[in-house]
Amino acid sequence: MRYRILGPLRPAVTAGRDRIVLAMMLLRPGRVVSVPELVDAVWGDDPPSTVRTQLQACVSRLRRALPAGAIDTDPAGYRLRIAADDLDSLVFARLIARARAEGDAVLFREALDLWRGEALVGIDSRPVRAAAAGLDEQYVAAVEDWAELELAAGRDRELLGLLGTVVERFPLRERLRGQMIRAMAGAGRTADALAEFRRTREVLRGELGIEPGKELQEVHRRVLTGGETAPVRSLPRTVGDFTGREDVVARLLAELDRCDPAISVIDGMAGSGKTTLALHVASLVGERYPDAHLFVDLLGHSAEQPLEPAAALLILLRQLGVPAETIPVTPGDRVTLWRSELARRRVLLVLDNAHSSAQVADLLPTVPGSLALVTSRRRLVGLDGVHSEPLVVLTPGEATVLLARIVGERVRAEPAALAEVVRRCGGLPLALRLAGARLAHRRRWRVADLVLRLGESALPELAVEDRSVADAFALSYGQLTAPAQRMFRLLGVCPAPLFDAPAAAALAGLPLDEAQDLLDDLHDVHLIDEPAPGIFRLHDLLREFAAALAADLSPDERRTAVEAILDLQTHAFAAANPPSWRAAVERDIGPLRPLRPDLVAALPDPAARVEWERPQLPAYLEAAAADGEYLVYAWWLPRAAWWFLYDGGYTAELRRLLERSLAMVEKAGDRAGIAVVSNYLASSASRIGELDRAAELLRLSRRVQEELGNRRAVAVAQANLANVYDAMGRFAESVAAARESLRLRYLVGERVSNRTPLHNLADALDRLGRHEEALRARRLGMLDAIEVGDATALANCLQGIQRHRIALGQIDLATAHRYLRAALRLSIRNEHLFSEADIRSEQGRLLRAEGRYAEAIALHLTAVELTRKTADRRYESAYTVDLADTRRAAGDRAGALADYRRALRDAEALGLRYTAARARAGLAECLADTDPESARRSWTAALVEFREMGVPEQHEAERRLAAMPR
């Protein structure tokens, strides 16, 4: 194992902050740990002002200490890539899961041997210690489960050594103390066992002020008397291959220690394994309830009528052995007798398949000493003071283990096919069991054969004898009201799995509040799930079931529903654009006039909605392409979402989406769609360095817009082309393209923001050393940004103006810093990562000029990290050259060489001539003293590029070459 947290942290990291950051990522292996969480863990409530820079420095040091590529940067934070066998806590959890499922004491001991002391001992951080305490809790729970197996096997003497050590660490664990007492008694040390009980009672009284619980007192009684009590046993047989659910089982067991009587309600969708779970928990705790184990099927979700409470009481009382002739007829008297019988017994009660809260209210125990486990497809919100445990589907790993236990290990020989079966079953235990049963009874079938049978419509195949998933769903559906049934059917035509109340209202053509009420009804009976507040989804198999029911809808009703949701999504995405960008959306797709303006107006936070809708955009595109009547949405949707995806750094997703959209509109011959999509597809191509492709797309957009007579759109494509020319180092052509864009816009009477031609013009002029002209263009852009209220554009203008004025000798460094601080505040306030990165690297260049190298390097590193979040490889390589320049100025020749070489490699791959030439010039500077021949070659190559681009750096290159010895 490469990493260890079950004891001291390994690998050993010296710096205290680095240890905390590594510990936090190891506590959440494979998951993103957010920046705020890391800041809280390292600095608590008093982080320094430079907290982001210091955190990035910690991560940089860890990257050097860990294997290459171990730490990923995510827009939200950082993630540690880790294999399942590389972390002791993951190995421990896997072994314990197997040990519990198989009842294997050897596996338990193998897992416990992984521990080398308290988890993450010596790391003083509140969140780390809290998480470590949770791991320690898992350890002692595993010890207790292992001890139970050892006691059952009669290995009492072997237990005593380890139990004694663990009891010292966890002196208040009553179950552990009870096992110690039982082991002593089993080893023939009855006096010691009784003395241990007295010590336990003193500890509990002294520390908690309580007496030992009933379970521990029962252990004491058995030691004294040597007797056992045989309970009434009415529970059905439980499965021997119970899999997963460790967290759920742990919570249900914890409820027994928290409440007395303990009452837990397990609710979930049809086939989720509620009854199996209840019986499994009952098997784990049966010994705590020696008098009776009772079970009744309340028929709440079956073809029969739900059982009346009085009838259920009759069944339960007869299970207890109460003579039929003594059971009262009236319901009230029957309840009284039931409660009297429970009051003098310790009873485990399973109430299966409950229909409502009213059905079970009188059946629940009311006095200490008993446990009730209730299962239902409904959320029984009418029961007060009970523990609710909504049951979700199995994880892919749990589902895989379950299939292997049903079928045998032969399924693991086809991992890809096995994963596909798990996916088609959606982690639903009933579906997995039925699929596994088919495979287990067809020994000549491969797993791939089962995949073929399941196909794209798995429901018909998930049936064995008289059991089927579809029938289980049908029972739940049949109990809905007519409006709820219609809503469920319409959800079957929803293009994407996730939806909210506005989407449901659009599909059904209902007011928002009515749609919300129907969703609540469906949620209450587990026909839909709510993975996040206000966001719903159908399980994959339920979605298939709903789609089959939707076949009963008329063609007009289906078309109306699909068009309504596509229109809602388009206008919801458009509403997420900043005000300064919405005019551009209308320029491309026309006036924003939604079919349901009430629903768009009701969206509380369109930007937050886009975040969870984002992965579903491809599904909406495919729905739009499925019917020629909706095809316009195939390019309206990605156009409306473009700003959010581009600004958020979702470059790969944006490119795939727009490529698919372009293929659709080209096939349909939609010229307006071709013109718009090609323009925005060029943005993602440019960002990943496909500059020739970007230029080709922009020329296509320009050509089609000219055919359509849309001079405003031609000007947009021309401005974007100027930006691509800038990236290619074709600065003179960039100036010409930007000026042509300005000319066209002025012809149509449009004022221009510096985001397009003025911004591009100033950048290209700056590269060419024409600072007066660049300053003039930048000031015009600033006036426009102020007028339209575009804070990000204003930040870019402030940054550019200080750079031009520094070059012209008009301001000093202190004044330049003030410009940049103002620009940075605007960028951070508007959460514009690209602008923030550019400003921070610019600040680093100013600090370098002042000789403040450490601060400058930190800012350059921040800029590089921010560009990685936006997936902007073009600017990442440019900022890497800035970083290398500062390292070289600081005397870090080795670090500078490494950065220059990395930047050169990336810039050449991306076709970034200017950045590549800067990197070559930097390499030459680093090599001048140690390898003059290589330095000469680098200077010569850089000079060729600088001259061809016409940039002033050529003069320095000429001077340096002339000064080198021949």
Encode pLDDT of 279-300 as tens digits. Answer: 989 988 888 888 889 999 998 8
Interval 622-649 mean pLDDT: 89
Interval 246-264 mean pLDDT: 89
Q: Which fold has domain 871-966?
A: 1.25.40
pLDDT of residue 891: 94
Is pLDDT at 228 greater than 50 in this prediction? no
Burial (CB < 10 A; 0-12, 13-18, 19+), residue 667, is exposed
CB 363 within 8 A of CB 338: yes
CB atoms within 10 A of CB 814: 9
Interval 532-561 mean pLDDT: 90
The token pair at 738 is 């930007």
**In the block, residue with structure tokens 């140690």:** 930
The b-or-e profile of 158-173 (16+ CB within 10 A means b, else e) is ebbebbeebbeebeeb
pLDDT tens string 465-480: 667 788 888 888 888 8
Confidence of residue 491 (pLDDT cuts 50, 70, 90): very high
The angle formed by the CA atoms of residues 925, 930 and 932, to the nearest 5 degrees, is 65
Is pLDDT at 868 greater than 80 in this prediction? yes
Taking the whole predicted model, whether its pTM rises above 0.85 is answered as: no
pLDDT tens string 343-364: 878 899 999 999 999 999 999 9
Which amino acid, 539?
Answer: H
Interval 189-201 mean pLDDT: 85
DSSP assigned state of 595: S
Which range has the worst mean pLDDT, 120-129, 418-427, 811-820? 418-427
Q: What's the CA gap between 928 and 12, in Å, rounded?
A: 40
Is pLDDT at 777 greater than 90 in this prediction? yes
Interval 534-543 mean pLDDT: 90
pLDDT higher at 440 or 483: 483
pLDDT of residue 139: 93
Which range has the worst mean pLDDT, 353-362, 423-432, 843-852, 874-883? 423-432
pLDDT of residue 752: 46
866: left (phi over 0), alpha (psi -120 to 50) or beta: alpha
pLDDT tens string 740-750: 999 988 888 76
With a pLDDT cut of 90, the percent of the chain lying above it is 53
Is pLDDT at 602 greater than 90 in this prediction? yes
**In the block, residue with structure tokens 């291959």:** 241
Confidence of residue 227 (pLDDT cuts 50, 70, 90): very low
pLDDT higher at 86 or 456: 86
Q: Closest Cα partner for 741 from 730, 729, 753?
A: 753
pLDDT of residue 138: 93
pLDDT of residue 750: 67
232-391 placed in CATH 3.30.465.10:
no
The token pair at 709 is 């007579």
Q: What's the CA gap between 152 and 130, in Å, rounded?
A: 34
Alpha helices in 445-539 (DSSP H): 447-454, 469-478, 482-491, 501-508, 512-524
State how far the alpha carbon of 455 is from the alpha carbons of 270, 402, 425, 452, 618, in Å: 22, 21, 11, 5, 22
**In the block, residue with structure tokens 């008329």:** 554
Confidence of residue 890 (pLDDT cuts 50, 70, 90): very high
CB atoms within 10 A of CB 574: 23
CB atoms within 10 A of CB 74: 15
Which range has the worst mean pLDDT, 21-35, 744-758, 789-803? 744-758
Q: Which CATH class is domain 482-728?
A: mainly alpha
Q: What's the CA gap between 483 and 471, in Å, rounded?
A: 21
CB atoms within 10 A of CB 865: 22
The b-or-e profile of 377-405 (16+ CB within 10 A means b, else e) is bbbbeebeebbebebebbeeebbbbbbbb
End-to-end C-alpha distance for the chain, whole angstroms: 56
Is pLDDT at 879 greater than 70 in this prediction? yes
Q: What's the CA gap between 93 and 105, in Å, rounded?
A: 15
Q: What's the CA gap between 718 and 699, in Å, rounded?
A: 8
- DSSP, collapsed to helix, strand or coil, labels residue 362 as coil
Confidence of residue 800 (pLDDT cuts 50, 70, 90): very high
CB 277 within 8 A of CB 373: no
Is pLDDT at 188 greater than 80 in this prediction? no
CB 900 within 8 A of CB 885: no
Q: What's the CA gap between 768 and 765, in Å, rounded?
A: 5
The token pair at 614 is 């984002």
Q: Do 232-391 and 871-966 come out as alike in CATH topology?
A: no
Burial (CB < 10 A; 0-12, 13-18, 19+), residue 251, is middle
Q: Which of 190-199, 374-383, 411-420, 911-920 has the highest mean pLDDT?
A: 911-920
DSSP assigned state of 630: G
Q: What are the residue ranges spanned by the domains of the chain? A: 232-391, 396-472, 482-728, 871-966
pLDDT of residue 75: 84
pLDDT of residue 634: 94
The token pair at 706 is 């000219």
Interval 587-612 mean pLDDT: 92
Q: What's the CA gap between 712 and 735, in Å, rounded?
A: 19
Confidence of residue 937 (pLDDT cuts 50, 70, 90): very high
Average pLDDT, the chain: 89
Is pLDDT at 410 greater than 50 in this prediction? yes
Query: Which residues, other chains included, contact 111 with Cβ-Cβ below 8 Å and sequence gap of 6+?
Result: 91, 92, 95, 96, 99, 142
**In the block, residue with structure tokens 């955190």:** 55
